[in-house]
Structure 1
Amino acid sequence: MAPHDAILGWDEDTNAAAYDAFTRAHPMYNVTSRDLARRAGLSDVGLVVDLCGGAGATARAILDHIPPGARVISVDNAAAMQRVGRRTLIDSRLSWITAPAEHLADHVAHGHIGAVVCNSAIWKTDIAAVFAAVSRVLRPGGRFVFNIGGGFAGIRHPDEQAVSGGPSLNTLIHDVAARDYGYIAPPKSADAPPKLPLETITCELAAAGLAVVDTEIVAQHSTMAEKKAWLSIPVFSRPEGDFTHAQRMRILETAYAQTTPDAPSVTSWLVVVAERREPPA
């Protein structure tokens, strides 16, 4: 049994509150959400889906981009995240559906959605099922816009490569855990292929009837202080293994003390814009 203070998964109230607080205090999710909303071409849509929308960070950006009279549906399978969103993001244009991304087509009218936006979450879904569901609900020409972390996509932005101010906070966390708790990190194969490279994404989209119209490798700039705040969110805390959340936070504090708060931290993202193909004549 997990320790009483361990936080497990997304559907937990403490985690949901911490995640929502981070999105409001730090720019990371606001910046990525606005970037995706801009790429989605929302000026003439009537209905937009915020897929894996969590507590509503991306929905907030979408609401700022849609025309008068348009609506947003936020879909997520974690009820705890949506409970936070319903309390903190009250807008008559926004509705919430608690369901897995793979079941999107069971809850949304087919062929009527102008755009589907998914920020930072495609990696945790069954992409074949999700892409098929998105294709069913999008109108012809409707856009599907999402991003994939560089580690999953197997890409690195030049800005990330240029930052070399010492070990990363993740590396320091593992070093502290090894020193103070005897932690042994699971082995990683240097030759292991990325899980979601663009080639795989393109093929799966095409199989679902979606065509890639644009891709870009972008850099997300932050600081060690923001990275530390992000790693304080229970679901993101490190290292993996049999640690309580309190232990992980002590490890994080010790590791963070070895850094400079305003030191730059850069992560890479692959942004993909796809469109629903017109049906054959």
Structure 2
Amino acid sequence: MYGTTRRDLARRANLTASRLVVDLCGGAGATAEAILALAPSQAQVISLDTAAAMQRVGRRTLTDPRLSWVNAPAENLADHVSGPADAVVCNSAIWKTDVPAVFAAVHRVLRPSGRFVFNIGGGFAGVAHPDKKAVRARPSLNRLIRQIAARDYGYSPPPVTDTATLPLDTVLKYLAAAGLTVVDTEVTAQHSTMEEQKAWLSIPVFARPDGDFTYEQRMEILDKAYALTTPGTPTVTSWLVVVAQRPGETP
């Protein structure tokens, strides 16, 4: 699941002639690996994240000399990358940041015409791909997690709202305020299985539910929820993909 989204974003970043690329909120470097596969041999890739433990895993598993690591918040990107960067890629994380501050920082490090490529989960963006609507309705793993957390752990889920956290209109407003222009937007579908969904929700930053739970408790809840599903059951996840850029220099 994560592998498909990372390759999709790397492809959209237009890395053929890149010299410096940033993997923003890069975790253990999965997206950096996809970037390295498309970037030229002389390119440099910087993976920035606050999760030191995940970066330690990445340092052990990714040994490409073109890759370096920065432990810092996304909002502080410009303090650690002087630029000019040809592209900044952020996979499955932008909604967890101070979005206006991150967009402003990205503008500071991009070269003119440099690309900023990111995605937003459909639930946060308020979008649904037609493929998702066509799948037979069944309880999602996230819904089962909330139910078990409420039943067994005293969890009080937040009120259900139809208001998206980061819809496209808001994204466009923030991009314009940061001085970035939109190249393309697309709602995509990620086809996977319950088994892959479980693997995704095992990643610490994506573990559920929110609230005052330890990672170990979240994994206990996940195991109980997963036991109520069929591992091979097909699932569809919607994504809003955005390609923006810093405007080119005026001749």
Give your verdict on TM over 0.5.
Answer: yes
Q: Gapped runs of 5+ residues in structure 1?
A: 1-27
Equivalent residue runs for 1:98-113 within 5 Å: 98-110=71-83, 112-113=84-85
2:5 is paired with a residue whose SS is: helix
Range 88-97 or range 235-244, more displaced: 235-244
Q: CA deviation at 1:159?
A: 1.1
> Residue type of the partner of 1:253?
D
How far, CA to CA, are the matches of 2:72 and 2:205 in structure 1? 20
| 1:216-267 Cα shifts (integer Å, max 9, x gaps) | 0001111111112223344433334455555444433333222211111111
| 1:40-97 Cα shifts (integer Å, max 9, x gaps) | 0000111111111111000000000011211111111222221111111111111111
Equivalent residue runs for 1:1-281 within 5 Å: 28-110=1-83, 112-190=84-162, 193-280=163-250
Q: Gapped runs of 5+ residues in structure 2?
A: none
1:175 is paired with a residue whose SS is: helix
Determine which structure has more spread, i.e. the larger CA radius of gyration. Answer: 1
Range 96-105 or range 236-245, more displaced: 236-245
Q: TM-score, normalised by structure 2?
A: 0.92
| 1:180-234 Cα shifts (integer Å, max 9, x gaps) | 44543232234xx212111111121112111001010001111111112223344
- Structure 1 pair 224–201 and aligned structure 2 pair: CA distance change class (3 A): same
How far, CA to CA, are the matches of 1:72 and 1:234 in structure 2? 24
- Structure 1 pair 59–165 and aligned structure 2 pair: CA distance change class (3 A): same
How far, CA to CA, are the matches of 2:47 and 2:19 in structure 1? 14
- Structure 1 pair 249–84 and aligned structure 2 pair: CA distance change class (3 A): closer
How far, CA to CA, are the matches of 1:93 and 1:147 in structure 2? 24
Q: TM-score, normalised by structure 1?
A: 0.83
**Does structure 1 retain, via aligned residues, the 8 Å contact 2:91–2:119?**
yes
Query: Among the aligned pairs, what percent are the same residue?
Result: 69
- Structure 1 pair 181–130 and aligned structure 2 pair: CA distance change class (3 A): closer
**Does structure 1 retain, via aligned residues, the 8 Å contact 2:2–2:200?**
no
- Structure 1 pair 233–104 and aligned structure 2 pair: CA distance change class (3 A): closer
> Residue type of the partner of 1:145?
V
Tell me how large the CA RMSD over aligned residues is: 1.9
How far, CA to CA, are the matches of 1:203 and 1:89 in structure 2? 37
How far, CA to CA, are the matches of 1:181 and 1:136 in structure 2? 45
- Structure 1 pair 95–249 and aligned structure 2 pair: CA distance change class (3 A): closer
**What is the total number of aligned residue pairs between the two structures?**
251
1:75 is paired with a residue whose SS is: strand
- Structure 1 pair 128–40 and aligned structure 2 pair: CA distance change class (3 A): same
How far, CA to CA, are the matches of 2:72 and 2:15 in structure 1? 24
- Structure 1 pair 103–209 and aligned structure 2 pair: CA distance change class (3 A): same
- Structure 1 pair 129–221 and aligned structure 2 pair: CA distance change class (3 A): same
Q: CA deviation at 1:126?
A: 1.2
